[in-house]
Amino acid sequence: MTEDAKADWLTRLQRGLGRTSSRFKTAIADLVRKRTLDAAALADIVDLLIQTDIGVATAGKLVQSLGRFDREVETDEVLATLAEGIENILSPVARPLVIDRARKPHVVLVAGVNGSGKTTTIGKFARRFREQGLNVVLAAGDTFRAAAIEQLQIWGTRADCPVVAKAPGADAAGVAFEALERARAEGADVLLVDTAGRLQNKADLMGELQKIVRALKKIDPAAPDTCLLVMDATVGQNAHSQVETFREMVNVTGLVLTKLDGTAKGGVVVALAERFGLPVHAIGVGEAIDDLQPFEAGAFARSLVGLS
Binding site for ligand GTP (CB under 6 A): 112, 114-120, 142, 148, 197-198, 258-259, 261-262, 284-287, 291
Nearest to 174 by CA among 125, 204, 115, 218: 218
Contact by Cβ (8 Å): 108, 190: yes
Length of the chain as a residue count: 308
Distance CA 255, CA 117 (A): 12
DSSP run (H or E) holding 136:
strand 136-139
303 binds, among Mg ion, ligand GTP, none (CB under 5 to 8 A by kind): none
Distance CA 109, CA 176 (A): 9
Distance CA 47, CA 42 (A): 9
Residue 119 binds Mg ion (CB under 5 A): yes
Compute the chain's Rg from CA coordinates.
Answer: 21
Minimum distance between the CB of residue 288 and ligand GTP, rounded to whole angstroms? 9
Nearest to 125 by CA among 172, 175, 193: 193
| Binding residues for Mg ion, total number by CB under 5 A | 3
Comparing CB distances to ligand GTP, the nearer of 21 and 258 is 258
Residue range at the interface with Mg ion (CB under 5 A); choices 88-96, 142-150, 161-169, 207-215: 142-150
304 binds, among ligand GTP, Mg ion, none (CB under 5 to 8 A by kind): none
234 binds, among ligand GTP, Mg ion, none (CB under 5 to 8 A by kind): none
Minimum distance between the CB of residue 119 and Mg ion, rounded to whole angstroms? 3
Comparing CB distances to ligand GTP, the nearer of 57 and 146 is 146
Comparing CB distances to Mg ion, the nearer of 153 and 253 is 153
116 binds, among Mg ion, ligand GTP, none (CB under 5 to 8 A by kind): ligand GTP
Residue range at the interface with Mg ion (CB under 5 A); choices 116-124, 128-136, 198-206, 258-266: 116-124
106 binds, among Mg ion, ligand GTP, none (CB under 5 to 8 A by kind): none
306 binds, among ligand GTP, Mg ion, none (CB under 5 to 8 A by kind): none
Contact by Cβ (8 Å): 50, 59: yes
Q: What residues numbered 217-256 form the site for Mg ion, per CB under 5 A?
A: none
Strands 292-294 and 280-284: antiparallel
Minimum distance between the CB of residue 147 and ligand GTP, rounded to whole angstroms? 8
Minimum distance between the CB of residue 287 and ligand GTP, rounded to whole angstroms? 4
Minimum distance between the CB of residue 85 and ligand GTP, rounded to whole angstroms? 25
Distance CA 308, CA 201 (A): 44
The verdict on whether omega for the bond into residue 224 sits within 30 degrees of 0, i.e. cis, is: yes
Residue 148 binds Mg ion (CB under 5 A): yes
Helix axes 268-276, 297-305, angle to 10 degrees: 140
* C-alpha torsion 40→44→49→53, nearest 10: 120
58 binds, among ligand GTP, Mg ion, none (CB under 5 to 8 A by kind): none
Distance CA 107, CA 225 (A): 5
Using CB atoms, what's the residue nearest to ligand GTP?
284
Question: Which residues are near Mg ion by CB under 5 A?
Answer: 118-119, 148
